[in-house]
Amino acid sequence: MNHTDQQERAEGTMLTGEQMIEMYKWMVTVRHFDRRAVNLQRSGRIGTYAALEGQEAAQVGCGYALEKQDWLFPTYREHGVSMVHGVPMTTVFLYWNGRPEGCMAPEGVNVFPISVPIATQLPHAVGAAWASKLKGENSIAVGFVGDGGTSEGDFHEAMNFAGVMKLPVIIFCQNNGYAISVPLSKQTATETLAEKAAAYGVEGIRVDGQDAVAVHDAVKYAADKARRGEGPTFIEAVTYRYGSHTTADDHTRYRDVNEAEMWRTERDPIDRLKARILELGIWSEEQDQALWEEADKVVQKSIEEMQAMPPVDHNRIFDYSYAELPWHLKEQREEMRSLYGNGGAK
């Protein structure tokens, strides 16, 4: 099959066949990264980790629809979209290894540090979008949030401000059904999250978050609209996290294991995109096997880079919050120095 055929066959989406393959490669790499990260936590080589397995289409589809100049405001689960937007895999590993280097995207990669406090990054995203509008720049901002995060005041404030000021921002919600152990039915009385957007005069879109192509097209539509100065969009990508909230959680205590199994076997985003590119005749089982082997090499190299870093100096935890350290923190720093010296932990 030649290139033109691939383009034609991919019609019905904004993507060419080649672009679908590129997204698929990202999704496989992200899944492999995620599984290795869980294993590293289990063997004590990184700290608590928030896995994203099951959400690869939502994240890669979104990231793939954005431009390099766009600004991302991620939560703790956005490793996939962050990597697609240019954050090196090793940086992501370093974050979960508790290193300050993991909080810094390289110069020119417009990804803000991970926000653990729920929804606090959304007003930041809206503020960045406002700045972009005032400066007449071509960049948009994307604020990420989970289903649970839509119950926070920050979500309301961000959506309201974005609507009133008609800002070039996308609030991208991965509705994975749970906020730790709280199911969506206890989170909201509305049938969908997308419908909440109407209350703010913002367009709301609900998309199948297991379909990377559909996610891509929804985000691309919203991004183009924002760039034309036509205002914000709220996107609800309906997805599922296969595993626990983090490695410190046990999802079997609050979820029916058959539910997770159903999503994994019947709605897997990687199986789905693979079936689509196989059907288009632009991918083969041989290529697929080679891709998983390549992903393994990429992730392994990145783990080695993380492990080759010099020991971290514990005292750096005192470095960044105050220009002048208060007396009680000075005391704590001295105590830490007397116990551990200048670091040494890997």
Ligand X SMILES: Cc1ncc(C[n+]2csc(CCOP(=O)(O)OP(=O)(O)O)c2C)c(N)n1
Active-site position among 254, 255, 264, 333: 254
To ligand X, the closest distance from the beta carbon of 151 in angstroms equals: 8
Q: Answer whether 173's CB lies under 8 Å from 235's CB.
A: yes
- Is 24 tagged catalytic? no
Active-site position among 241, 251, 267, 272: 241
To ligand X, the closest distance from the beta carbon of 245 in angstroms equals: 6
Nearest to 78 by CA among 22, 149, 158, 157: 149
Nearest to 143 by CA among 165, 123, 161, 164: 123
Among 30, 83, 118, 215, binds ligand X (CB under 6 A): 118
77 binds ligand X, rule: CB under 6 A: yes
Compute the distance between CA of residue 144 and CA of residue 146 in angstroms, rounded to an integer. 7
- Is 241 tagged catalytic? yes
Residue nearest to ligand X (CB): 146
Count the neighbouring beta carbons within 10 Å of the beta carbon of residue 250.
12
Tell me which residues in 222-281 interact with ligand X (CB under 6 A). 245
Tell me which residues in 148-167 interact with ligand X (CB under 6 A). 148-149
To ligand X, the closest distance from the beta carbon of 241 in angstroms equals: 6
Nearest to 343 by CA among 99, 158, 127: 99
Nearest to ligand X of 16, 187 (CB atom): 187
Active-site position among 85, 245, 267, 314: 245
| Per-residue binding letters, 290-309, with ligand X (x by CB under 6 A) | --------------------
Count the neighbouring beta carbons within 10 Å of the beta carbon of residue 139.
20
| Helical residues (DSSP H) of the chain, grouped into ranges | 3-9, 17-42, 56-64, 79-84, 89-96, 121-135, 153-165, 184-187, 212-227, 257-266, 269-279, 285-307, 327-340
Q: Which contacts (CB < 8 Å, 24+ apart) does range 188-193 have?
A: 188/147, 188/150, 188/151, 192/236, 193/147, 193/150, 193/234, 193/236
Identify the bridge partners of residue 171 per DSSP, sorted by sequence position: 143, 234
- Is 242 tagged catalytic? no
Among 1, 164, 180, 198, binds ligand X (CB under 6 A): 180
Burial class (CB in 10 A: 0-12, 13-18, 19+), 336: middle
Nearest to ligand X of 56, 147 (CB atom): 147
| Per-residue binding letters, 195-214, with ligand X (x by CB under 6 A) | --------------------
If binding means CB under 6 A, how many residues of this protein chain bind ligand X?
A: 13
To ligand X, the closest distance from the beta carbon of 205 in angstroms equals: 18
Among 17, 102, 123, 146, binds ligand X (CB under 6 A): 146
Among 8, 67, 101, 117, binds ligand X (CB under 6 A): 117
Q: Residue 201: which residues within 8 A CB-CB, separation 6 or more? A: 163, 164
Among 65, 170, 179, 260, binds ligand X (CB under 6 A): 179
Among 56, 70, 147, 203, binds ligand X (CB under 6 A): 147
Count the neighbouring beta carbons within 10 Å of the beta carbon of residue 273.
25
Nearest to ligand X of 104, 182 (CB atom): 182
Count the neighbouring beta carbons within 10 Å of the beta carbon of residue 107.
5
Catalytic residues: 241, 245, 254
List residues binding ligand X (CB under 6 A): 77, 116-118, 146-149, 176, 178-180, 245
